[in-house]
Amino acid sequence: MTGRARIKEIASLANVGSATVDRVIHGRSHVSDATRQKVLQAKSAIESGAWTVRSPRPWHLKVILPEMAGLSTEYLAQCFNEFGALGNAIVECAFSPKLEPAALARKLRNCGSGKWDVVIFQALEDPRVRDAVSYLNNRGVPCLSLLSPLPNAPVIGFVGSDGRAAGRTAGLLMGLACPHGGEVVIISGGQLYRSHENREMGFRSYLRSHAKHLKILETVLGHDTAEQNHENLSRIIRNTPGLVGLYNVGGGNEGIVRALCEANLTSEICVIAHNLTPRTRSHLGEGIFQFILHQDMRLMAERAINVCLNYLINGQSDNIHVPVEIITRENLEPRDSG
């Protein structure tokens, strides 16, 4: 490895043995994905010159995201991995079954071994999750809630968008797009994400005050899955001839698209969804979706890491709101989605 990072340097930065580094560098088996990720991040940080701090060991950050939660979450994990290679910290991403509080609580409690300096996680609104955060806090492992806040829990802060403001923005857009009135449906992943609940409240609040010509139907729970969203929306379309708008506060967009296509309503109903991905970009360009409310996942990862490091170095907690962008087919830019 002449002229490059030495095995001992990588091992020290990644906090693993030299033999493990050798197996990763030479592509051998018997190395977990998480360990391989740490070694490659450390190698990249040293060779790029990004890692200049010499300390007993680098900061170790654990990120827990929902499993099978869509392209935005996959891109977010990728961004965390890339920032981990810049040398400020070693970042390990792990996944927990989507919308399962008990599983997330177990994942959190498993981070109490003393290996991790901070745990970043997408919070679920559940007492078991709050108890797990308190458990880690008592063991000296601070937690940062990401994307969805967790009030009344001992977290060091929150990084994400203002859900209520996003919902009110969706209400404004829906009111403008449907000036002649009609019925509007909200599709939600459920009540486990405080951010989704805030989006729904903001949307309803705006329509009640400023778009009284629109009637809001009961919120439909699709649990962020394409299958349930397809089934629910197909039923709503059959039973609601006056449907003019749909606001999806969570995921499972492909089921919505399928239901609209089957009913030949892709140009008849105003659809507002969240997060620009290659798929939602395509639906926007085709005119199936009218608006995407987007939060920059790269900026999300960067600010989350900065909040954690600021806490570790300076002891300062912080809440950071990432702006919500309004994306339409008219302002799509040739940039990476996410």
User: Which domain-ending residue is among 37, 58, 79?
Assistant: 58
3-class secondary structure, 333: coil
Predicted confidence (pLDDT) per residue in 227-279, tens digit = 999 999 999 999 999 999 999 999 999 999 999 999 999 999 999 999 999 99
Assess if residue 333 is contained within a domain: no
pTM of the predicted model as reported, rounded to 2 decimal places: 0.82
Contact 133, 154 (CB under 8 A): yes
Residues 67 and 87 in one domain: yes
Assess if residue 334 is contained within a domain: no
Residues 71 and 94 in one domain: yes
Find, among 240, 246, 168, the residue nearest to 207 by Cα: 168
Q: Look at residue 86 and tell me whether its pLDDT is greater than 90.
A: no
Contact 220, 185 (CB under 8 A): yes
Residues 77 and 156 in one domain: yes
Q: Specify the number of domains making up the chain.
A: 3
Predicted confidence (pLDDT) per residue in 143-186, tens digit = 999 999 999 999 999 999 999 999 999 999 999 999 999 999 99
Residues 103 and 36 in one domain: no
Q: Look at residue 2 and tell me whether its pLDDT is greater than 50.
A: no
Transcribe 131-181 into DSSP letters: HHHHHHHHTT--EEEESS--TTS--SEEEE--HHHHHHHHHHHHHHH-TT-
Contact 157, 120 (CB under 8 A): no
Indicate the Cα dihedral angle 308, 313, 315, 317, nearest 10°. -30
As beta bridge partners, residue 55 has none
Residues 207 and 132 in one domain: no
Predicted confidence (pLDDT) per residue in 30-83, tens digit = 888 778 877 887 787 777 665 554 444 578 899 999 999 999 999 999 999 888
What stretch of H or E contains 106? helix 101-109
CATH number, domain of 35, equals: 1.10.260.40
**What residue has token string 């492909």?**
254
Residues 301 and 277 in one domain: no
Contact 15, 90 (CB under 8 A): yes
Range of the domain at 225: 163-294
Go through 231-256 and write b for each residue having 16 or more CB atoms within 10 A of its CB, e for each that does not.
ebbbebbeebeebbbbbbbbbbbbbb
Residues 115 and 207 in one domain: no
Residues 171 and 284 in one domain: yes
Assess if residue 214 is contained within a domain: yes
Amino acid at 97: P
What stretch of H or E contains 185? strand 182-188
Assess if residue 167 is contained within a domain: yes
Residues 173 and 83 in one domain: no
157-160: strand order across its sheet:
90-97, 60-67, 118-121, 143-146, 157-160, 318-321
Assess if residue 181 is contained within a domain: yes
Residues 63 and 53 in one domain: no
Residues 127 and 26 in one domain: no
Q: State residue 144 phi and psi, 5-degree precision.
A: -120, 125
CATH number, domain of 137, equals: 3.40.50.2300
Amino acid at 93: C
What stretch of H or E contains 293? strand 291-294
Assess if residue 338 is contained within a domain: no
Residue 232 pLDDT: 97
Residues 220 and 305 in one domain: no
Assess if residue 288 is contained within a domain: yes
